[in-house]
Amino acid sequence: MIKRKSEMTKMAILIEIMHGKKKIKDISKSVNITIQGVSEYIKLLKKEGYIDKNMNITMDGVDFVYKKMEELRSFITEVMSDMKFITNTEAIAGEEIKKGERVGLFMENGYMYAYKRKSSSTGLATYDAMPGEDINISDLEGILDLSIGDITVVRLPSSKDGGSRGVDIKELKKLIRKGVKKGVIGSVAYVTLKKNGIEIDFEYGVVRAAQEAAHRGFSSIIFVSSDLFKYTIEDLEREIPGLSKVPYNVIDLSNGHKKY
């Protein structure tokens, strides 16, 4: 947090300089820190090459501001997602519910259910609903108590190393826990699961599907060959607007059994 604050202050000062302010006194008023504090930051920014001796921002300085703005945007998106700023939501009635009744919200099997009992998140029924019917809940209060699932990436042998033929099926089956969703990326992964009678839940848009499932409380295993492993990790690391990052780990079955 301290480091983030320091970096944000640097960014704020550079933005003021970009807008033509070069007097330390003026910058101090704009960013709301002391003149002495601005002076120290100016020295640091010159040392790092973000501004020149004439108090002009350099290309490195512009790149720094752009990078920090992107980080700030991602941070705000993640926080907004976690806080779930919504005023109404759809749900499934878990029992008979009448219009205007206050209900509690619960996540069951990946779907939101409404019951006439206490919950960490509650709201008012917009209309009548029988058990199993969809219903709109308004005037939401609280935050839904939801455990985020995780993702395990299982790296399989590449096609040139034998593909599905080189997989230790006993070790692979040990990794599959009850209730965990299973996704495959590529031919090696698809054939490995199919020929061993393992049900596949995700075949297309697998990384995004696993991330969406995690936000509904499900954990997932993604099976992928070494040929496509790099791209799978890149997809997992990519920021998705509206979704907080999902934790993942990797288990290597491409040559023995190694977890890291």
Question: Do 254 and 180 reside in the same domain of the chain?
Answer: yes
CATH of residue 27's domain is: 1.10.10.10
- Residue 57 is part of which domain span? 2-83
Question: Do 210 and 254 reside in the same domain of the chain?
Answer: yes
Question: Do 69 and 9 reside in the same domain of the chain?
Answer: yes
Question: Do 114 and 136 reside in the same domain of the chain?
Answer: yes
Q: What is the largest CA-CA distance in the chain?
A: 73
Question: Do 125 and 75 reside in the same domain of the chain?
Answer: no
Question: Do 244 and 180 reside in the same domain of the chain?
Answer: yes
For residue 257, the model assigns a pLDDT of: 45
Question: Do 162 and 207 reside in the same domain of the chain?
Answer: yes
Does the reported pTM lie above 0.75?
no
**Among residues 185, 138, 188, 140, which one has the least CA distance to residue 167?**
188
Q: CA of 236: how far to CAs of 152, 156, 205, 250, in Å?
A: 11, 17, 12, 11
In this structure, what token pair is assigned to residue 6?
């320091």
Question: Do 11 and 77 reside in the same domain of the chain?
Answer: yes
Report the amino acid identity of residue 140: L
Question: Do 54 and 74 reside in the same domain of the chain?
Answer: yes
Question: Do 32 and 51 reside in the same domain of the chain?
Answer: yes
Strand 220-225's sheet: what is its strand order?
181-185, 220-225, 151-156, 248-252, 258-259
Overall number of domains in the chain: 3
For residue 22, the model assigns a pLDDT of: 85
Question: Do 124 and 184 reside in the same domain of the chain?
Answer: no
pLDDT in tens, the chain (260 residues): 435 678 888 999 999 999 888 899 999 998 888 999 999 999 999 999 999 989 999 999 999 999 888 888 877 776 666 555 567 889 999 999 999 999 999 988 888 899 999 988 899 999 999 999 999 999 888 877 777 889 999 999 998 888 889 888 888 999 998 889 999 999 999 999 999 999 999 999 999 999 999 988 899 999 999 999 999 998 888 766 656 678 889 999 987 544 43
d(CA 210, CA 208): 5
Final residue of a domain: which of 66, 83, 100?
83
Final residue of a domain: which of 120, 142, 164?
142
d(CA 196, CA 199): 9
Question: Do 13 and 78 reside in the same domain of the chain?
Answer: yes
Between vectors from CA 238 to CA 63 and to CA 251, what angle results, nearest 5°?
Answer: 130
